Amino acid sequence: MKLLIDVGNTRLKWATVTAGPLSAGRPVALDAPTLADALGEAFAALAGRIDGVFVSSVVSDARETELRTLLEAALPGVPVSFVRSPAHALGVRNAYAEPQRLGVDRFLALAALHAQPRAQVLVSVGTALTLDALAADGRHLGGLIAASPTLTRGALAAATARLLPPSREVRLLADSTADAVQSGAVLAAVALTERFRSGAAGPLGAWPALVLAGGGADELAPWLPDAERIDDLVLRGLARWASG
Do 126 and 35 share a structural domain?
no
* Percent of the chain with pLDDT strictly greater than 90: 65
The answer to whether residue 172 sits within a structural domain is yes
What pLDDT score does 49 carry?
87
The answer to whether residue 104 sits within a structural domain is no
pLDDT at 244 over 80: no
Do 61 and 170 share a structural domain?
no
Give the CA dihedral 117, 123, 126, 129, nearest 10 degrees. 140
Task: Give pLDDT tens digits for 134-185.
Answer: 999 999 999 999 999 999 988 988 887 767 677 788 988 988 888 888 999 9
- Which helix or strand (DSSP H or E) is residue 12 part of? strand 11-17
Asked whether the beta carbons of 113 and 211 are under 8 A apart, the reply is: yes
3-state secondary structure 129-163: EEEEEECCCCEEEEEEEEECHHHHHHHHHHHCCCC
Strands across the sheet containing 128-134? 140-147, 128-134, 120-125, 209-213, 228-229
What pLDDT score does 16 carry?
94
What pLDDT score does 219 carry?
94
Task: Report the number of distinct structural domains present in the chain.
Answer: 2
Do 137 and 217 share a structural domain?
yes
Picking from 23-32, 46-55, 100-109, which range would have the lowest pLDDT averaged per residue? 23-32
pLDDT at 73 over 80: yes
Asked whether the beta carbons of 244 and 90 are under 8 A apart, the reply is: yes
Distance CA 161, CA 217 (A): 29
The pTM of the full predicted model, rounded to 2 decimals, is: 0.92
Mean pLDDT of 93-102: 97
Do 153 and 68 share a structural domain?
no
Do 138 and 72 share a structural domain?
no
Q: Which domain holds residue 159?
A: 116-240
Nearest partner of 198 among 130, 131, 124, 107, judged by Cα: 131
Task: Give pLDDT tens digits for 221-235.
Answer: 999 999 999 999 999
Distance CA 5, CA 12 (A): 7
What pLDDT score does 42 carry?
82
The answer to whether residue 10 sits within a structural domain is yes
Do 197 and 147 share a structural domain?
yes
The answer to whether residue 160 sits within a structural domain is yes
3-state secondary structure 176-211: CHHHHHHHHHHHHHHHHHHHHHHHHHHHHCCCCEEE
Asked whether the beta carbons of 182 and 154 are under 8 A apart, the reply is: no
Give the model's confidence band at 204: pLDDT under 50 very low, under 70 low, under 90 confident, else very high. very high
* Percent of the chain with pLDDT strictly greater than 70: 99
The answer to whether residue 190 sits within a structural domain is yes
Do 58 and 147 share a structural domain?
no
Asked whether the beta carbons of 235 and 21 are under 8 A apart, the reply is: no
Do 140 and 215 share a structural domain?
yes
Asked whether the beta carbons of 198 and 216 are under 8 A apart, the reply is: no
The answer to whether residue 96 sits within a structural domain is no
**47 vs 86, residue with greater confidence:** 86
Catalytically active residues are 105
Do 121 and 233 share a structural domain?
yes
pLDDT at 189 over 70: yes
The answer to whether residue 93 sits within a structural domain is no
Mean pLDDT of 197-206: 97
Do 216 and 133 share a structural domain?
yes
Of the residues 82, 102, 134, which one is the last residue of a structural domain?
82
Nearest partner of 108 among 223, 213, 32, 34, judged by Cα: 213
CATH number of 192's domain: 3.30.420.40
Of the residues 82, 106, 135, which one is the last residue of a structural domain?
82
DSSP 6: E
Mean pLDDT of 41-63: 89
What pLDDT score does 162 carry?
67
What's the first-to-final CA gap in the chain, in angstroms? 14
Do 219 and 130 share a structural domain?
yes
Mean pLDDT of 60-88: 92
The answer to whether residue 106 sits within a structural domain is no
What pLDDT score does 43 carry?
84
Render 68-130 in DSSP notation, one character per residue: HHHHHHHSTT--EEE----SEETTEE---SSGGGS-HHHHHHHHHHTTS-S-EEEEEESSEEE
pLDDT at 40 over 90: no
Of the residues 82, 103, 135, which one is the last residue of a structural domain?
82
Do 219 and 124 share a structural domain?
yes
